[in-house]
């Protein structure tokens, strides 16, 4: 297990039960359909080894295991991993780990980083380190998939103020751009206590990712723009899904 890092917005917010309440609408059927299409597109043989980096509570990892893959999920949040460990099996394992640190060497056929689980770090070098750690864990001729928001579209269509209601909790959300980050301030009252959390995701464009990939000696093979694996369009796509190879 890696040394416990100092508290940051992501280590506290992702470890909070309110994070999962706010985002409980995540579509599991969409996630499973995406995994089906992705593994088919990659021609990933059954029993291949898969690492799910920043796996959260393990919804993608669990489904991959059910499909017949040998899966390891890694996440910074002890609470997320504790939740996920209840579903461990012979071919499904979870551990607490900081994605900036190397976790394996030439071990996995496929390394995944899904649902914009990247770009949280204040130090730009940390982004390079995270990509290098994923590349190091991947086998020669293996694949890496990084799924990030389509930054161009998000910045252009940023909604400044919004409210979401989940489990009778009103989450007031204010979004803004602060230097190189999209900032989301989340305020709410839960169980009689007032809370405010913050999300800060670096504004990373396609060309920025290409610099990371080149530095890690990864080859960019494709970019998809949706979970249906439709072609990427900077103007209209919701996602940037990078398909990378290590060769």
Percent of the chain with pLDDT over 90: 90
Residues 179 and 82 in one domain: no
> What's the pLDDT band for 7 if we cut at 50, 70, 90?
confident
Residues 122 and 225 in one domain: yes
- Is the predicted pLDDT of residue 237 greater than 90, yes or no? yes
Which residue segment(s) compose the domain that 118 sits in? Answer: 9-150+205-245
- Is the predicted pLDDT of residue 40 greater than 80, yes or no? yes
Query: Strands, DSSP E only, in the chain?
Result: 49-53, 70-75, 92-96, 108-113, 138-149, 161-166, 169-178, 181-190, 193-202, 219-224, 239-245
How many other C-beta atoms are found inside a 10 Å radius of the C-beta of residue 219? 12
Residues 135 and 177 in one domain: no
Residues 23 and 144 in one domain: yes
Residues 73 and 193 in one domain: no
Residues 77 and 189 in one domain: no
Residues 76 and 194 in one domain: no
Residues 182 and 123 in one domain: no
Q: What would the two tokens of residue 115 be?
A: 């649902």
Residues 73 and 50 in one domain: yes
Residues 222 and 186 in one domain: no
For 55-64, how does the pLDDT look when each residue is reduced to its tens digit (9 = 90+)?
A: 999 999 999 9
Q: What would the two tokens of residue 13 be?
A: 């917010």
Residues 195 and 210 in one domain: no
**pLDDT, greater one: 5 or 206:** 206
C-beta of residue 105 within 8 angstroms of C-beta of residue 46: no
CB burial of 84-97 (b: ≥16 within 10 Å; e: otherwise) equals: beeeeeebbbbebb
Is 3 contained in some domain? Answer: no
CATH number at residue 225: 3.40.50.150
Number of independent structural domains in the chain: 2
Is 4 contained in some domain? Answer: no
- Is the predicted pLDDT of residue 3 greater than 70, yes or no? no
Residues 54 and 172 in one domain: no
């Amino acid at each position: 297990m890696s040394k416990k890092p100092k508290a940051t917005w992501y280590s506290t917010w992702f470890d909070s039960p309110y994070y999962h309440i706010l985002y409980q609408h995540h579509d599991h059927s969409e996630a499973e359909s995406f995994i089906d299409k992705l593994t088919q597109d990659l021609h990933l043989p059954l029993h291949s080894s898969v690492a799910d980096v920043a796996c959260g509570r393990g919804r993608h990892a669990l489904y991959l295991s059910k499909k017949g893959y040998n899966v390891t999920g890694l996440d910074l949040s002890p609470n997320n991993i504790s939740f996920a460990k209840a579903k461990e099996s012979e071919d499904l394992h979870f551990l607490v780990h900081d994605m900036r640190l190397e976790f394996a060497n030439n071990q996995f056929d496929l390394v995944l980083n899904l649902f914009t689980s990247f770009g949280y770090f204040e130090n730009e070098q940390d982004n390079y380190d995270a990509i290098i750690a994923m590349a190091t864990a991947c086998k020669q001729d293996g694949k890496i998939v990084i799924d990030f928001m389509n930054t161009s579209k998000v910045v252009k269509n940023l909604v400044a103020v919004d409210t979401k209601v989940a489990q009778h909790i009103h989450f007031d959300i204010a979004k803004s751009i602060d230097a190189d980050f999209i900032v989301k301030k989340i305020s709410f009252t839960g169980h009689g206590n007032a809370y405010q959390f913050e999300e800060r995701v670096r504004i990373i464009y396609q060309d920025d990712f290409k610099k990371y990939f080149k530095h890690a000696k990864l080859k960019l093979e494709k970019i998809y723009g949706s979970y249906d694996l439709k072609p990427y369009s900077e103007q209209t796509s919701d996602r940037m899904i990078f398909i990378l190879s290590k060769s």
